Amino acid sequence: MANGTERGDQDRSIKRFLLIINCVLLSIGISGGPLVMRLYFVRGGHRVWLSSFLETAGFPIMLFPLAASYIQRRNHHRLSAAEGSKPKIISMKPPLFAAAAFVGILTGLDDYLYAYGVARLPVSTSSLIIATQLGFTAFFAFFIVRQKFTAYSVNAVVLLTVGAGVLALHTSVDRPIGESKKEYVMGFLMTLVAAVLYGFILPSVELVYKKTKQPLTYSLVMEFQFVMCLFASLFCVVGMVVNNDFKVIPREARNSKHGEVNYYVVLVGSAIIWQTFFLGAMGVIFCASSLLSAIIMAVCLPVTEVLAVFFYKEKFQAEKGVSLLLSLWGFVSYFYGEIKQAKKMKKKMETELAQCP
């Protein structure tokens, strides 16, 4: 019994460590990704399909942690002298692969919708619209994975959604100079649809994790992300081919305001930072839930707005300050509730163990 308890505590500690790491990765990705993507358009870029492709094109980076994970599993198998087959390079089975491919195609569509909005809206505006995905995630999570809500999590969802709503009432003053009202409205609507779609994707991934019949490890989560991003990228490549992006990119790079090298640096930087976002998002779902993943995204978006004001000289109205305050309040509310719930569960386990003969 003692060994089992110690092993359980160790597993929880590892998962808590992974959760912290993935929260950091998600925070970096969701805060920096929109800024780098907008930088491409601010500097004269016009290819929406290219920008959507870059959101998942960094997936080859995952080969490094996947290779390290395989080497670790192989060494562990060798040292433990365990019987049975050796660890496989690819542990994902066909049903999980198919699910990852399907989610990847949906992600590719979502990437295009979001990139379309970023091309036509200021970062602060697109960020506040995307923050509404928390409400959509909570809605879909309730029906798809039967997400249980506490008073604190409901409070967090309401505060973060209201924070985004406060800003949404004052977006008209942010319309870029020279952009028509029709283009602005289309960007607004496409970004909103992207928020709805990603609100559906997050709990769908959580459902896949729960329904998979093979043991779910962090290594398997990385494989899932690799396949998901691969198919999302392929979806966007098709759009790039149809839109002749590959022919235009070299010319666009030569005509870039800040030079050809800087142009490609922005593209590579965008691919890398968006990959941290996806790894963090998938990892948080594995360690906790899709709802927590959405909450972290929502609380980081006002930070993106502040950075947009600093780097792109966008307006920071009083409404954005109120949104930031509400977001931080909601974030603290959620984690306070989680801490209380964890203490309650620990006390319950200790009571059950004390009653055992």
The predicted-structure confidence for 85-140, as pLDDT tens digits, reads as follows 677 888 899 999 999 999 999 999 999 999 999 888 888 778 777 877 877 888 88
Please state, in angstroms and as integers, the Cα–Cα distance from residue 194 to each residue in 215, 278, 346, following that order: 31, 15, 39
Phi, psi for 213 (deg, rounded to 5): -90, -5
Tokens 């990765």, located at residue? 25
pLDDT of 199 over the 70 cut: yes
Contact 195, 188 (CB under 8 A): no
Please state, in angstroms and as integers, the Cα–Cα distance from residue 163 to each residue in 17, 134, 217, 246, 341, following that order: 30, 11, 35, 40, 25
Q: pTM to 2 decimals? A: 0.84
Q: Residues 269-275: what's their mean pLDDT?
A: 95
Contact 174, 124 (CB under 8 A): yes
Q: Residues 330-337: what's their mean pLDDT?
A: 75
Contacts of 262 (CB under 8 A, 6+ apart): 43, 256
- State the average pLDDT for the chain: 83
Helical segments of 243-289, H only: 245-254, 260-287
pLDDT digit string, tens, across residues 151-187: 877 887 788 778 766 766 665 556 666 666 788 888 8
Q: Which of 74-88, 257-271, 316-330 has the lowest mean pLDDT?
A: 74-88
pLDDT digit string, tens, across residues 229-249: 999 999 999 999 999 999 999
Look up residue 116 and give its amino acid: Y
d(CA 260, CA 103): 34
Q: Which of 18-22, 53-57, 108-112, 324-328 has the lowest mean pLDDT?
A: 324-328
pLDDT of res. 2: 47
